[in-house]
Structure 1
Amino acid sequence: MATDIEDTTYAVQAAALMRLLPARPRLLALGEPTHGEDALLDLRNELFRQLVEQEGYRTIAIESDCIKGLMVDDYVTSGTGTGTLDEVMEQGISHGWGASAANRELVRWMREFNNGRPASERLRFAGFDGPLEITHAESPRQALTALHGYLAARVDADLLPCTADTLDRLLGADDRWTEPAAMMDPSRSTGQSAEAGRLRLLADDLVALLDQQAPHLLSETSRDDWDRARLYGRTATGLLRYHHWMADTSPARMTRLCALRDSMMAHNLLALAARGPALVHAQNSHLQREKSSMRMWQGRVDWWSAGALVSAQLGEEYAFVATALGTISHRGVDAPPPDTVEGILYALPEDRCVIDARRLATALGDMRLAPRESPWFGYAPLDPAHLTDRDGIVFVKDVPQG
């Protein structure tokens, strides 16, 4: 059996990933089982460079705020950019991940690659997460006012459903929306107030107007400006919907919130797929085809991930490659038991490799595998029951402390 398993492994290269797929996907999703490890982000950067140079990929999308990510995209695509690299890393990438040396190197390399190239050949950066944290959601102000401003400058004022002053009055103070206590206490959320309800209707009308005026708007502005306005529209409506359900008191509250976040991610990914092939990088649970789950304070929550939603629409134009790890010693994750998927891969001689997940499942046959248990909550092991739902696996034997 060892020989069969070794026959399913390849060097960690973009070309090896592509050989596992029936065709070049529009979205190649590379998942990670934990956050914050630069060794994994360095590997992602290496694969992205190869995809750019060998396969014509021009976009990378990471699990970061989609609105903040516009600042990074401006920086890498413009000859001058907005702000310094330090400012872009601090303000353009959410969740504190701008401090990562690997993320910094990615942005620096993309800007350098783009220098002197025509717009059609430049690399693009995108965040595809909503403006959300585990503790709170942002105010919809930025997205709503940007969408209104784009339309107000280009369509008849009589067509607008409201004025900018009306939006400002209904939005009120931003700290009403970002109240951290609202995640645990729905009564602290403003999401089902009369003002929030009115804003949801206005946001819907603004997005409808954007669609109705598409021919005119595309004749007046660039496709990038139009795409950005649509991003503002998706984000505004998504945030208002998210805030509405933050105020919910039903048992389905957290299921809805998790599903809404991944739905926002999915819509952003589908918009990127329409632009051309992209590498997508996020936690495995956001990219997998099977249902995602998490144990939270009120119990287990299950929802369909962004990857499952996108895969349902794109079919073979969506590919998912999961990353799995042997050890993260500095996090207390030691060598995996031999009867787990990670344990079998850990016995291979390579420090890292690409695995054909479906051939691996065939090679394992009827072997009874146990799900790996992680002593650290921040690492999510592979589920042996879903090997064939992956197009491939990238295995890293040992993750060093950064």
Structure 2
Amino acid sequence: MPFDIKDIAHAVEAAAVMGLLPTRPQLLALGEPTHGEDMLLDLRNGLFRQLVEQEGYRTIAIESDCMMGLVVDDYVTTGTGTLDEVMECGFSHGWGTSAANRELVRWMRDFNADRPASEQLHFAGFDGPLEMTAAASPRQSLTALHSYLAAQVDADLLPCTRETLDRLLGADDRWTQPGAMLAPARSVGQSAEAGRLRLLADDLVALLDEQTPHLITATSRDAWDRARLYGRTATGLLRYHSWIADTSPARMTRLISIRDQMMAHNLLAIAERGPALVHAHNAHLQREQSSMRMGGELLAWWSAGALVNARLGEEYAFVATALGTIRHHGVDTPPADTVEGLLYALPENHYVIDAPRLATALGDKRPAPRVSPWFGYAPLDPAHLADSDGMVFVKDVLRS
């Protein structure tokens, strides 16, 4: 019987996504092949809303600063602050200006308004405090961890005082110089002070772990869990800054790898708290090794999704997003001999695709990879079609 692609194409609904999976995974990740398109985020919002209401997911995590995300979580769970303040201060990478992200936060707050704390929906950023050209100072996370411990354990157990941390950290602008990304000598990441801070951060994280029974009883599991986030962030940032200052050929690969490792650690911690929905670029969530060209060099690393999948197995599911056109960025109708071109022949604009079945139907005659005319869009890799649990296909991405 000839293969009809309509047989594996379904409406973008929670039931269609869950129908592709053997069980409800602890982490259900939805990727996107480009950033900054509210049409894709609106589609995400609708799908995630159904998954929350119908499948009981209780955390939504996106590719944004994990520390800034605490501001959003406080707002959606307790109403702290205003929506305007949260959109300005709760997102990195400029995501706070997105109308779709604003609508997501507004809906999450409304969802929680009449629910007890045990049934509320939480928000999380799972990226590190990192931008493309610079990384944050470790001050916020490191001092927050110290303050949490100082309030609950004997002073003699602390490896240092707050004053020592402040002295070693110095001014924050020492850590955030954009020029250091291109000129390692300008970074403080391998200074004597930074080396000392890495040891102190390690001791503070160890103390947090050692005192777990007392700390959970004296504060709460949520407060202890937030302190763990401070510790992961501080140690990750200090490691990242150390590699910013490095001059070896492995520098850029290590920086990209550390970022995804920080993402993975945050996702694993989120999964411990209950079923969660995740949204980020496909390259951060896919199971196969990620790669990109930077300055003519091909960099390869294991994504957060690959790392999490290695730990969680079937408790991690990944649904990629592929698309046909983004005409306002010069991405026009895909060639018919690509996967995107095959899907573009479908009549509706949005579908959930059974990617493993599509891969089986195509067999060894996989289409050639699509070539993107715009650096901001990463086409689907047909060689890894079966490595995702499903696919959302958007025929035409329209400017908002």
TM-score normalised by L of structure 2? 0.99
Alignment of 1:216-365 (within 5 A): 216-297=214-295, 299-365=297-363
The alpha carbon displacement at 1:3 in A equals 4.3
Q: 2:337 touches 2:368 (CA, 8 Å); kept in 1?
A: yes
Give 1:16's aligned residue: 16
Query: C-alpha distance in 2, partners of 1:24/1:368?
Result: 30
Deviation at 1:4, TM superposition (A): 2.9
1:70 partner amino acid: L
Question: Which among 165, 168, 176 is matched to residue 166 of structure 2?
Answer: 168
How far does residue 75 in structure 1 lie from its aligned partner after superposition? 0.2
* Contact in 1 for aligned 2:366/2:382 (Cα 8 Å): no
Match of 2:103 in 1: 105
- Where does structure 1 lack aligned partners over 5 or more consecutive residues? none
1:114 aligns with 2:112: yes
- 344-353 vs 324-333, greater mean Cα deviation: 344-353
Cα-to-partner distance string for 1:255-290 (whole Å, 9 max, x where unaligned): 000000000000000000000111100000000000
Match of 1:34 in 2: 34
- Identity rate of aligned residues, in percent? 79
Where does 1:75-114 land on structure 2 (aligned, <5 Å)? 75-78=75-78, 80-81=79-80, 83-114=81-112
Quote the Cα distance in structure 1 between the aligned partners of 2:366 and 2:18: 30
SS in 2 for 1:127: strand
**Alpha-carbon offset, residue 368 of structure 1:** 4.0
Partner residue, 1:198: 196
Query: In structure 2, how many angstroms separate the alpha carbons of the residues matched to 1:2 and 1:108?
Result: 47
**Cα drift, residue 365 of structure 1:** 2.2
Offset of residue 6 of structure 1: 1.6
Give SS of 2:278's match: strand
Aligned equivalents of 1:84, 1:373: Cα separation in 2: 43
Aligned residue runs from structure 1 range 50-61, under 5 A: 50-61=50-61
Equivalenced residues, count:
400
SS in structure 2 at match of 1:320: strand
Q: Secondary structure at the match of 1:225?
A: helix
The structure 1 segments of at least 4 consecutive aligned residues displaced by more than 4 Å after TM superposition are none
Residue 2 (structure 1) shift: 6.8
Aligned residue type for 2:186: R
Tell me the secondary structure at the aligned position of residue 60 of structure 2: strand
TM-aligned CA distance change 1:2 to 1:163, over 3 Å? farther
| Alpha-carbon distance change, 107 to 251 in structure 1, aligned in 2, over 3 angstroms | same
Report if the CA contact (8 A) 1:137-1:243 is conserved. Answer: yes
Residue identity matched to 1:14: A
**Aligned-residue offset at 1:70:** 0.1
Q: Which deviates the most, 290-299 or 325-334?
A: 290-299
Q: Please, what is the CA RMSD of the aligned residues?
A: 0.9
1:135 aligned partner? 133
User: Residue 310 of structure 1: CA displacement?
Assistant: 0.0
Instruction: Compute the displacement of 1:364 (Å).
Output: 1.4
* TM-score normalised per structure 1: 0.98
